[in-house]
Chain A
Amino acid sequence: MIALVANPTRAVYAALIATLAIGWALVAFDGGTFTLNDLVGIQQRSAALGIVAVGQTLAILAGSLDLSVAYLISLVSLVAAETMAGQSSNILTAVVVALGVSALVGLVNGVVITKLKVHAFIATLGVALVIRGVLDHLYDGPAGRVPVDFQQLGYARIGPIPVAAILWAAVAAGVWFLLRRTRFGHRVYAVGGDVEVARLSGVRTDRVVIAAHVLCSLCAGVAGLLLASRLGAGAPTVGTDGGYDLESIAAVVLGGTALAGGRGGVAGTVGGVLLLAVLDSVFNQLEVNSFFKDVVRGVVIVVAVAVYARRTGRRAS
Chain B
Amino acid sequence: MLRMTGIGKSFLGIRVLRGIDLSATAGEVHAVVGENGAGKSTLMKILAGVHQPDEGTVEIGGQIRSFAHPVEAQRAGVAIIYQEFNLLPERSVADNVFLGREPTRRGLVDRAAMDEATSRLLDELDEHSFGPRHLVKDLSVAQQQVVEIVKALSVDARIVVMDEPTAALAEHEVDLLYRLIRRLQGRGIAVLYISHRLREVFDLADRVTVLKDGAHVATVAATDVTTAGLVKMMVGRELDAYFPPRAEESAIGEVLLTVRNGGNGKLDGIDLDLRAGEIVGVAGLQGSGRSSLVKAVFGAEPFTRGEMTPTRPGSVRAGVAAGIGLVTEDRKAEGLALNQSVRDNALLVARAIGHRSRAAVSDLLERVKLAPPRQETEVKYLSGGNQQKVVLAKWLTVSPRVLLFDEPTRGVDVGAKAAIHDLMRELADSGTAILMISSELPELIGMSDRIIVLRDGRVAGHLPAGSAEESVMALAAADGVAA
User: Chain A residues in contact with chain B, CB under 8 A?
Assistant: 181-183, 185-187, 189-190, 193-194, 196-198, 200-203, 258, 262-263, 315
How long is the Cα–Cα vector from A263 to B91 in the complex, in angstroms? 8
* Extra inter-chain contacts (14) besides given A183-B102, A186-B102, CB under 8 Å: A182-B109, A183-B104, A186-B99, A190-B88, A190-B99, A194-B86, A197-B88, A197-B99, A198-B99, A200-B71, A201-B101, A258-B90, A262-B88, A262-B91
B268 at the interface (CB under 8 A from A): no
In angstroms, Cα B111 to Cα A186, docked, is 11
Q: Contact: A189 with B90, CB < 8 Å?
A: yes
Q: Which residues of B contact A183 (CB under 8 A)?
A: 102, 104, 109
B88 touches A200 (CB 8 A): no
Asked, given contacts A183-B109, A197-B99, whether A263 binds B90 with beta carbons under 8 Å apart, the answer is yes
C-alpha spacing A162/B196, complex, angstroms: 68
Name the interface size band of chain B. 20 to 34
Identify which of residues 80-116 in chain B touch chain A, using a CB-to-CB cut-off of 8 Å: 86-91, 95, 99-102, 104, 107-109, 111
B70 to A200, Cβ gap below 8 A? yes
Q: Do A203 and B90 touch (CB < 8 A)? A: no
- The reply to whether B70 and A197 form a contact with Cβ atoms under 8 Å apart is no
Give the docked Cα–Cα distance between A58 and B29 (Å): 45
How many inter-chain residue pairs (CB < 8 Å) link A and B?
A: 57
Closest to B95 in A: A186
Q: Which residues of A contact B99 (CB under 8 A)?
A: 186, 190, 197-198, 201, 203
Q: List 15 interface pairs A-B (beta carbons < 8 Å), by A numbering.
A: A185-B109, A187-B100, A189-B90, A193-B89, A193-B90, A193-B91, A197-B86, A197-B87, A200-B70, A200-B71, A200-B86, A201-B86, A201-B100, A202-B71, A262-B91
Residues from chain B with Cβ under 8 Å of A200 in the complex: 70-71, 86
B90 to chain A, nearest CB (A): 4
Cα distance A22–B99 in the bound complex, in angstroms: 44
Q: Closest CB-CB distance, A253 to chain B, in whole Å?
A: 16
Q: Which residues of B contact A315 (CB under 8 A)?
A: 137
Complex CA distance for A200 and B90, rounded to whole angstroms: 17
One digit per residue, 1 when the CB lies within 8 angstroms of any chain A CB and 0 when it does not, for chain B 177-196 equals 00000000000000000000
B74 touches A (CB below 8 Å): yes
User: In whole angstroms, how far apart are the Cα atoms of A263 and B88 in the complex?
Assistant: 10
* Measured CA separation A137–B332 after assembly (Å): 47
B77 to chain A, nearest CB (A): 14
* B100 and A262 within 8 A (CB): no
**For the complex, what is the distance from the CA of A185 to the CA of B108, rounded to whole Å?**
10
State in angstroms the CA–CA spacing of A194 and B95 once bound together.
14
Taking chain B's interface residues, is the majority helix, strand, or loop, or is none over half, making it mixed? loop
Q: Given A181-B109, A182-B108, A185-B109, decide whether A203 and B100 contact each other with a Cβ distance below 8 A.
A: yes
Q: Tell me whether B101 and A202 are in contact (CB under 8 A).
A: yes
Shortest Cβ distance from A70 into chain B, in angstroms? Answer: 29
Contact partners of B86 in chain A: CB under 8 A: 194, 196-197, 200-201
B90 adjacent to A262 (CB under 8 Å): yes
**Which chain A residue lies CB-closest to B72?**
A202
Roughly how many angstroms separate A189 CA and B99 CA in the complex, as a whole number? 10
- In the complex the two chains form, what is the Cα distance from A198 to B70 in whole Å? 12
Q: Which chain A residue shows the least CB distance to B103?
A: A183
Residues of A within 8 A of B71 (CB): 200-202
User: A204 — nearest CB in chain B belongs to which residue?
Assistant: B100
Shortest Cβ gap from A191 to chain B (Å): 10
Residue of B nearest to A184 (CB): B109
Per-position 1/0 for B296-310, Cβ under 8 A of A: 000000000000000
The smallest beta-carbon distance between A254 and chain B, in angstroms, is 18
A183–B108 alpha-carbon span in the complex (Å)? 7
- Nearest-CB distance from A151 to chain B (Å)? 36
In the complex, A160→B99 CA distance in Å? 44
What's the nearest-Cβ distance from chain B to residue A31, in Å? 47
Q: Does the CB pair B88–A193 fall under 8 Å? A: yes
Which residue of the partner chain B has the closest CB to A261?
Answer: B90
User: Which residues of chain A come closer than 8 Å to B70, judged between CB atoms?
Assistant: 200
- CB of A202 within 8 A of CB of B74, answer yes
- Measured between beta carbons, the chain A residues less than 8 angstroms from B101 are 201-202
Name the residue among A183, A194, A315 with the largest chain B CB count within 10 angstroms: A183
**Residue from B88, B91, B100 in contact with A202 in the complex, judged by beta carbons closer than 8 Å:** B100
**6 smallest A-B Cβ distances: which pairs?**
A201-B100, A202-B71, A202-B100, A193-B88, A201-B99, A263-B90
